[in-house]
Amino acid sequence: MLDPGRPGVLYYPAVTAAALGVGCLDLGARANCGFFALRATGGTPSSANGMAGLVAEDGKLYGAASTGQVLCLEITDRTPCAGQPYAPVVRPNHDLPGATGSLYLGGMTTAGGKVFVSSSPQTSGSTSRQRPPWAASTRPRPRSVPGGTRRTRPAPAPPTTRTTRSPPTPLPARPTACAPRPPTADRR
């Protein structure tokens, strides 16, 4: 993310052994211009191991931590925003303890002054083993039936009566020719 007030300054998600934060690179000077810690790494049961998705909105940089929390940095003075880290807004993602530096699978964007976060947790890399409500199966659960067998649907009932149908009624015939067009006086 380029700094809108400092030409040539680039911000990127960064992780150290002790903290998640924002790294700064001065492209003009070809030099590092700092690291701004936003949250300590570690934690239980969900561990802050990485972050991704820096976006700028209203003078602030926002990123998503592997815990699902939103992290924030004031761009002008490069300090953490008041009250951050904010509550998790997505499921944890690569947040197993001891996996510092794991890649966060997801991203962020802004639209209409709002920040949107996505997360694509992998089942092997997250403390959250629950399926989200939108992924729940709509199939009926198996149930016991007499005789000890299990079925997911009741067996279809055998036909009891036979239905006969009469042939369809034919449609009326269409006219084969159209009436000629009446002459007009001002035809050119």
Give the residue extent of every domain in the chain: 9-126
Residue 70's pLDDT is 92
pTM, two decimal places: 0.63
Q: How far apart are CA 27 and CA 50, in angstroms?
A: 24
Residue 137's pLDDT is 43
Residue 47's pLDDT is 76
Residue 21's pLDDT is 93
Tokens representing residue 75 in the block:
């761009």
* 174, burial (CB in 10 Å: exposed 0-12, middle 13-18, buried 19+): exposed
| Lateral strand order in the sheet of 9-15 | 9-15, 19-26, 31-40
Q: Per-block average pLDDT, block size 10, for the chain (188 residues)?
A: 90 90 94 94 77 89 88 94 90 70 74 86 62 46 51 60 63 62 64
Q: Which residue has the tokens 């003075």?
A: 77
Residue 66's pLDDT is 84
Residue 93's pLDDT is 77
